[in-house]
C-alpha cells in the first residue's frame, strides 16, 4: 500500500513537471502558423511577410506604399505585437509588417503598436 502511494505521487509529480514543456511546444506551433504564401488568396494578392524589405525598389508594383503594412489595414485583427488575422488572406496568421495588393488603410489607425 505504501509503495502504491509513493508511485502515485511520483507519477503525479512527473505529470506536473511536463506541463510547461507541453505548453511551450503548443505555443511554438501557434507562432509558426503564418499563411502559406504559395496558395490561395495569399498567392493571388501577393502577400509578403515584410513589405518594407520585400517590396523595396518597386518589387511589389505601384500599389505598394512605404507606410502600408498589415497592422494598419482594415482587414487586420491583432493577435499580438507580431501577428494578426486577416479576413481575406487565410488560413493562418499574417505578419504585422506584412502587405498585400488589397491593402486598405484603417481610418482610425495612425501608427501600428
Under rule CB under 6 A, residue 83 binds ligand SF4: no
- Asked if 45 and 100 touch (Cβ cutoff 8 Å), the reply is yes
Mask for 18-47, x = binds ligand SF4 (CB under 6 A)? ---------------------------x-x
- Hunting for cell 487565410 — which residue is that? 90
Interacting residue with ligand SF4 among 60, 64, 96, 99 (CB under 6 A): 99
Cell digits for 45? 494578392
One residue of 88, 92, 97, 112 binding ligand SF4 per CB under 6 A: 88
Cβ-contact 98, 85 below 8 angstroms: no
* Binds ligand SF4 (CB under 6 A): choice among 64, 86, 93, 96: 86
Residue-level length of the chain: 113
Amino acid at each position: 500500500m505504501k509503495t502504491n502511494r509513493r508511485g502515485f505521487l511520483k507519477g503525479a509529480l512527473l505529470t506536473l513537471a511536463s506541463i510547461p514543456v507541453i505548453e511551450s511546444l503548443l505555443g511554438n506551433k501557434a507562432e509558426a502558423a503564418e499563411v502559406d504564401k504559395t496558395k490561395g488568396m495569399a498567392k493571388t494578392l501577393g502577400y509578403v511577410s515584410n513589405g518594407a524589405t520585400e517590396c523595396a525598389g518597386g518589387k511589389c508594383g505601384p500599389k505598394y506604399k512605404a507606410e502600408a503594412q498589415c497592422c494598419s489595414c482594415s482587414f487586420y485583427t491583432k493577435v499580438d505585437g507580431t501577428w494578426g488575422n486577416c479576413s481575406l488572406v487565410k488560413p493562418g496568421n499574417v505578419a504585422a509588417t506584412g502587405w498585400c495588393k488589397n491593402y486598405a488603410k484603417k481610418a482610425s489607425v495612425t501608427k501600428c503598436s
